Structure 1
Amino acid sequence: MQHHFGTGQTYVLNLSNNPIRRVFTQNLFISSKLSLKSPKTALLVSALLLSLSWNVQANGKKAQAGNRSDAILLPSAVINYARPSLLGYGGHAPADIWNPDKGFLVQSTNPNSYNLNFPTTGMDGLYFDLLISGVDINELTWEPVTHEGITATVTNVVANDRWIPKEDKGQVVARVKLTGPEARNQPLNPNPNPITKPKLPQTFELVGRHIGTGDEVVKYGFVLRQ
């Protein structure tokens, strides 16, 4: 921006800062109403406008930091293992699939290939733990997911099962429990009522959200085939 004065000199003000440029645009009428007869007057007007622009910019930053919800930094969480009972699993499974002290390694975070993750077989009462790093488990909340009468529910529990290695006992984990069609109330009935047969396969996606903001922090998916 240039100002020309009666002295024949040109005074240049570089408006490379966008907020400052906007203030000058919005207040251009000032220079049109004032008689800028000397460099001192021009510099005074420029200084006043610069001060105004800096205040606007500073207040805007304060408002962003103080009021915007996206200023909250969410944790970076990763699910490393899906741990069922460690007794009777594994055998000679490859190391990139199974860890004898932790369980099944997560194979995919892509919804298109959730079928690679554990479990693939469902049963009423089956449960397994999600071993998550990078976040306090107690800061996560999970909604149950139901398909075809099968529900996957996630709760935070203190893991003390006898098959859990000593170093992991007592730690809080996200425990996934499946509930579905069952006939436990009629084992001696010679003519048991048929139970509902779900249509499979079904994809389950469990989403852990921040308990304060509701934002998605981590998720785990699997496909029940039988």
Structure 2
Amino acid sequence: MNLTDLMATIHGGLIVSCQAGHEHPLRDTSTIRRLAEAAVAGGATAVRCGGVGGIADVRAVAAAVTVPVIGLTKRGTSGVFITPTVADALEVLAAGAAVVATDATTRPRPDGAGLRETVEAVHNAGGIVMADVSTVAEGVAAASAGADLVATTLSGYTPYSPQTAGPDLALVRHLAAELSTVPIVAEGRYHRFDHVREALEAGAAAVVVGTAITDPVWITRRFADATDRPAPVTTGH
């Protein structure tokens, strides 16, 4: 898939992130695959997956859905951990992802390579790169390095970016103004319908929603918090 075909598929649409952490009840590759299938049945134009499930999740989802897969790995818990190396990026692509999502912040990458090296390697292998950034400057630098799309995924997850409870719509707006030829993907804490509409109005080409769709623990907690009942007490056995 080339960038033109990708944008024809996702422009103005909803991308659903299907991921679950190590200790989450849904942490199972076959479950992630079914979440992805359900998301596509509901109208997702693409699926973002991988995370701690890594290559197994990417491979399973790519084999199961007909929409583009945005794949990633997560290694470690701090610093650059979203598809942090060139080798990781090529593994994600080989697993069937059309797009490789990778950290594009200014922090050093564990293999010592720059973003440009990752972009070149993915392009040479026929893939597309989504650069996950936290600031306007990082987005501009990612575009200069050849990234095909810039996503606001990491705003709030670096110490020097705004720490907001909701999505960083200002970053979407500023990136869209700065990078008129590079599609901007809004991602990060999009928890309400109006957030999605506002991001598209701010210039996003597409919006990624994860937790609010695919995390029943988070969803249930939101409803439970609206009741007067105390949280259940769990005991070990």
Task: Mark yes or no: TM-score above 0.5.
Answer: no
Q: TM-score, normalised by structure 2?
A: 0.23
Which has the larger Rg?
A: 1
Identify which of structures 1 and 2 has the higher relative contact order when contacts are C-alpha pairs closer than 8 Å and 6+ apart. 1
Between Structure 1 and Structure 2, the one with more helix by share is: 2
